[in-house]
Amino acid sequence: MDGSETLERMHSNQDHNQQQASTNYKEAFSLFDKRGNGRVALESLGDLLRACGQNPTLAEIADLEKGIGGDFDFEAFSKVLNRPGGFRDPGEPEEYCRGFQVFDKDMTGFIGVGQLRYILTNLGEKMTDDEVDELLKAVDTSSGEINYTELVRTILAN
């Protein structure tokens, strides 16, 4: 295989991957189109972006919502997805674990469930109690403590 064939194959693979991503985005959009009218409610923008593998901050979502103004169609959503600069990378598990280590005084790899709830509802991009409850369903909390490495892996895998 010569260089031009290799380039052609690479472009073909890129086209296929872009088509697959577009199909996945359309499917996600359809799931959030609750009324079946080709539009999604503005308050679902953040969840829809996350369902498409993006990682917007609450501030980014607020800015995007101001720009959109109301319910939006797939074309408007595509512009958000393909905006210059994109969204921040979700990061590496080790980065998140280092953040939890600040609260793990004995460096055991565990923090208390109550402590985690406090962190998630009061620091950084605050979560609601319901959101924390949903998150905690994914990990073992029976001991009253959470293995934060396991929690991070679970979150990033989803």
**For the chain, what is the mean pLDDT?**
84
Query: pLDDT per residue over 3-57, tens digit each?
Result: 555 555 544 444 544 666 678 899 999 999 999 999 999 999 999 998 888 888 8
The answer to whether residues 11 and 52 belong to one domain is yes
Distance, CA of 74 to CA of 54 (rounded, Å): 16
CATH code for position 113: 1.10.238.10
Residue-by-residue DSSP string for 75-117: HHHHHHHT-TT-------HHHHHHHHHTT-TT--SEEEHHHHH
Shared domain for 69 and 122, answered yes or no, is: no
Residue 88 included in any domain: no
Give the domain extent around 148: 93-157
Do 101 and 73 belong together in one domain?
no
Q: Classify residue 87: in a domain, yes or no.
A: no
Is residue 65 assigned to a domain? yes
Residues 18 and 70 in one domain: yes
Residues 70, 127: one domain?
Answer: no
Domain count, the chain: 2
Q: What proportion of the chain, given as a percentage, has pLDDT over 70?
A: 85
